[in-house]
Structure 1
Amino acid sequence: MKATYLKLPKTVSREVLVNTSACTLVRMVVKAGTNPPLHAHPHAQIDYMISGAADVSIDGVITHVNPGESIFIPGGAEHGFLVSEEDQEFLEFFTPGREDIE
């Protein structure tokens, strides 16, 4: 699987809370109107929505995620949040840890 790591637009902020070889935990804030491109990486990912809501595409299947809900993204799956209608804050957990972020 070829990883297509996401370059974050300026309307997205990322705070790395934990980053080890075993796992990575990141807090993300995405401003309304952001349309990040779909991407893939070998890491399994769990996203937990703190505020806002999002439609998430995972290998072409779209799932709506509300505050207090989580979604699992298998390693290697092409995925991404679709255009945000409102600001979003969420946590992202990756395993194994992300070697491409600090």
Structure 2
Amino acid sequence: MNFKDLADKTLITDNDITWEDLGAGVKRKIMAYDDQLMLVKVAFEQGAIGSVHNHPHLQMSYVAKGSFEVSMGEDKKILNEGDVFFAPSNVYHGVVCLEAGLLVDIFNPHREDFLK
């Protein structure tokens, strides 16, 4: 299934979507999106890094599995399964995976750069 096939889908099966290998122990699946909202799964091997970055999108991330050291602006905190972090627009944030894990990221609006 390609990214354009996902646009505006309402019933999505995980097995129909393949992982995109981002390298360095990180891979992602774009699960669903429209113009305003996007849900993405991001899997991390232990020790993998989600580099510190910022973007204009609002982002909420749910720790579905594992443990992460999360940087948000000047703050750092270890988050575990069931925890959440919120990245406001243009705030620098990143993660270091302490225990193999999975983040479920939600963006508003959708990340056009992920679709290229």
Smaller-chain TM-score bracket: 0.7 to 0.9
Q: Which amino acid aligns with 1:32?
A: Q
| Identity of matched residues, % | 29
* Equivalent pair of 1:9/1:36 in contact (CA under 8 Å): no
Structure 2 residue 59 is the aligned partner of structure 1 residue 45: yes
Q: Per residue, is there more strand in 1 or in 2?
A: 2
Which runs of 5 or more residues in structure 1 are unaligned? Answer: 1-7
Alignment of 1:59-70 (within 5 A): 59-70=73-84
Following superposition, which runs of at least 4 residues in structure 1 exceed 3 angstroms of deviation? Answer: none
Higher relative contact order (Cα pairs below 8 Å, separated by 6+ residues): 1
What's the Cα RMSD here?
1.2
Q: TM-score, normalised by structure 1?
A: 0.85
TM-score scaled by length of structure 2: 0.75
Choose 23-32 or 9-18, whichever is displaced more: 9-18
Q: How many residue pairs align between the two structures?
A: 94
The structure whose residues are more often helix, as a share, is 2
Greater radius of gyration (CA) = 2
CA deviation profile, 1:28-65 (whole Å, cap 9, x unmatched): 10001112321110001000011101111011211221
1:48-99 CA-partner distances (Å, limit 9, x unpaired)? 01110111101121122111111111010111002x2210112000001111
Residues 66, 80 of structure 2: 8 Å contact kept: yes
